[in-house]
A and B are shown apart, each in its own frame.
Chain A
């Protein structure tokens, strides 16, 4: 499996990562190296083996349905570059 420059540009755009034109080619090469390296795993016979979702052999712990958090508006907004009347304020988003 390998990726093209086109794929790399698309993924960068979807992930909102700015990728200057002169870095596309090196990035594609780098990613393909990684993919080729991982490709080696294809040699392992996994016939009849369930895909693994997690490396820990345990199921998801659950918490009870009680309110234990919230009411910390000041903390939630502490790192916001801009806030007003308890809201985050961000550049206008128009659909």
Chain B
């Protein structure tokens, strides 16, 4: 495991470090909306998944969905967080055509989930802890479409009122790569829990990223004292739903802030957007009172009270979480922490690995699954579900290696053929005559021929032996020749033994 590396921005006045906190919105996986019985299903015709509550018709009253509350609690438990048995809904007031109520029902002062923490594995092979500040339930807004008409905006309220969980992290993220890793981990957790499908392309998981910069050393002072004065002014990059763009946006934004400060300009606390075509961030709202949301308790809703017995029941029903899976992979299959974490973060990959590894050598399995297969899938831009090599076939291939029927080298050839759809490994080996030759008679014959044809090499081996080398280098040359002559099919172990005997080593 490597150490956590610092992400440093070199400025004209010295080195700067970046501090990142994230607000992640995850659509809650339920059949119906947070406060109405309209469906949440994606892809319906416009305004067909809308009740009169979602359209904010006068006199309509919200009734909370138990399923949404349960999913929020489930997620809170998965984030090792405190579940608040008493929470409350507030109104966040602002005007926009896709928000028919004129306010969003959210939880401001008393969220349903309090502080927690998760462990995140970074790409570079180290892990770090991110504190969770809170998780609260709120309504999603509808969708505005600006490009159907040059003079009008079209509004679809299908998403209006769908439940979101907003998960707020502490400013514990310290580089663009860590931000992506955090989001990946969070996604893996909600997907494992079944509390959100985590589909980023559909916008079901999106992040607002708070970025600030400070002189090197100030973050440590902030951690020590809890005084935000040590950190710089943050700007919030809105609505990011791609791991790659999140990293690009943070890289640009952090550098831009350093340049601003060093020029003597002020960084204003504001909301910004990342332009994916230019790779730059730009200001989104300029009105100074745009953020005056005038929160107040929603008079249509009573406080949300849940009992501990229900929370315990939900806890007992939690599935295996990525961290538990990681630990089990380490314990049961002898995997290294990093390999285990990578597999456990993606359930499709984890399931595939387990199907291959079950009852076999775990290290050998991870080698083939993570290196050979995932490497190849990446190269061809395929998902694990689209893999031409099934877990069953890969397992069969491993069995052939283990039993000594084929060598590791031949196995790679067989793997290629299975990839190309030529059938099951055992059948391919049989058909193509790739079976390892362990018949000592046949190998001896090849060895004799090669020794007879290469007296100079024999002399070299003997000379090396006389010099006291237990394993003369020239022996390797003979092994290579024998393997070549047998088209890679000779059992390497048998070749070694026979060569040693014949060369009197």
Where the two chains meet, the residues of A that have a C-beta atom closer than 8 Å to any C-beta of B are 10, 13-16, 53-54, 56, 58-73, 75-77, 82, 84-95
Contact = CB atoms under 8 A, between A and B. Distances in A.
Contacts of B156: 86-88
A36 B339 CA distance: 67
Interface string B139-154: 0000011101111111
Chain B interface secondary structure, helix, strand, loop or mixed? loop
Contacts, number: 138
Contacts of A16: 95
Contacts of A87: 46-47, 145, 148, 154-156
Interface stretch (B31-39, B127-135, B389-397, B404-412): B31-39
Interface of B: 30-32, 36-39, 45-53, 55, 63-69, 88, 93, 95-97, 144-146, 148-157, 284-285, 289, 292, 294, 297, 299, 301-305
Contact of A60 (B46, B67, B305): B305
A70 B50 contact: yes
Contact of A63 (B65, B96, B285, B289): B65
A87 B158 CA distance: 10
Q: Max chain A CB contacts within 10 Å: which of B38, B145, B297, B304?
A: B38
A89 B146 CA distance: 10
A62 to B, nearest CB: 4
Contact of A73 (B48, B64, B88, B96): B48
Contacts of B146: 92-94
Given A14-B289, A77-B47, A67 B95 contact: no
Contact of B144 (A15, A60, A93): A93
17 contacts: A10-B292, A13-B289, A56-B302, A60-B302, A60-B304, A61-B63, A62-B65, A62-B69, A64-B66, A69-B38, A72-B52, A73-B48, A88-B154, A92-B151, A92-B152, A93-B96, A93-B144
B50 A60 contact: no
B93 A63 contact: no
B38 A67 contact: yes
Contact of B152 (A63, A75, A91): A91
A67 B37 contact: yes
B57 to A, nearest CB: 8
Contacts of B63: 61-63
Given A56-B302, A88-B47, A89-B149, A67 B68 contact: no
Contacts of B39: 67, 70
Query: Across chains A and B, which 5 residue pairs bring their CB atoms closest together, nearest first?
Result: A65-B67, A68-B37, A69-B51, A70-B38, A69-B37
